[in-house]
Amino acid sequence: MIILSALLPIFGVAATPNSPPLSVLVFGGSGQLGSLVVRAALAEGHKVSVFARETSNMQRLEGLPVTVIRGDVREAADVDRALKSQSFDVVVDALGRSESGVEFYEQAAGHITRAAAATRVKHLIHHGSVGAGESRAAYPANLLPERNALLLSKGAAEKLVRDSGVPYTIIRNAVLRPLPAGQADRAELFEDPLAFGAVSREGVARLTVQCFRDPRCRNRTFHAIDAGLAYR
């Protein structure tokens, strides 16, 4: 088990004032989780680009100094063009499927991993769901029938990430809950595939950006959980 937030200050791997900013591309950057990743990355001084559709609602990013690259992640050529537009140190997949079918996750990951490998991205951070792959046993059995196809697509997406050859981090969440006003974010990363619990999008976004520079995140799969949040 890794408790990243607790270990970071001890090992001193967090950004120092002399760390050069990283070039970051966020897929799903206009969404609820993605926009918080964008804000957390900007707060650390990184250079952020967002991949979004012409029709995406950009309200959450209003006034933020981001480069917007337009495209649809279901179109391989759009993803290739985005990845070739500059050299990215970090690519974050914070996509949700919106109106698409469950096959969306595997299709999107296929396009992103191929383009990231071809353009030598240094780190791919993929947001997934508890219940995918070897974490299936952690998922409530009564919800499995209804989520089965979704979780299979998410598992296939994770496999594409692991097999891509691009250094990766997979951060799964089981359920995303708002952080009640005044409650501190206590999200942590656990490596146990049976770990299960709620987490806030703010916590997941903070941990995502901490992983940008932390070698202990490389080629590992975590579950993000905030012990202060109830699952139900």
Ligand X SMILES: NC(=O)c1ccc[n+]([C@@H]2O[C@H](COP(=O)([O-])OP(=O)(O)OC[C@H]3O[C@@H](n4cnc5c(N)ncnc54)[C@H](OP(=O)(O)O)[C@@H]3O)[C@@H](O)[C@H]2O)c1
The residues of the shown chain that bind ligand X, judged by CB under 6 A, are 28, 30-34, 53, 55-57, 72-74, 94-96, 98, 100, 127, 129, 173, 175-176, 201
Q: 44 or 202, CB closer to ligand X?
A: 202
- CA–CA distance, 118 with 185 (Å, rounded to integer): 37
Q: How far is the CB of 5 from ligand X (least distance, A)?
A: 20
Q: 97 or 220, CB closer to ligand X?
A: 97
Q: How far is the CB of 124 from ligand X (least distance, A)?
A: 15
Beta-strand runs (E) in 71-122: 90-93
Q: 72 or 103, CB closer to ligand X?
A: 72
Q: How far is the CB of 16 from ligand X (least distance, A)?
A: 30
Beta-strand runs (E) in 130-196: 168-173, 175-176, 187-190
Residue nearest to ligand X (CB): 31
Q: How far is the CB of 196 from ligand X (least distance, A)?
A: 12
Q: 72 or 80, CB closer to ligand X?
A: 72
Q: How far is the CB of 131 from ligand X (least distance, A)?
A: 8
Q: 166 or 204, CB closer to ligand X?
A: 204
Amino acid at the residue 112: I
Which residue in this structure is represented by tokens 């993000």? Answer: 224
Going by DSSP bridges, is the β-strand pair 47-52/67-70 parallel, antiparallel, or unpaired? parallel
Give the CA distances from residue 139 to residues 36, 165, 202, in Å, rounded to whole numbers and listed in that order. 26, 28, 23
Does residue 53 contact residue 88 with C-beta atoms inside 8 Å?
no
Residues 6+ apart with CB under 8 A from 12: none
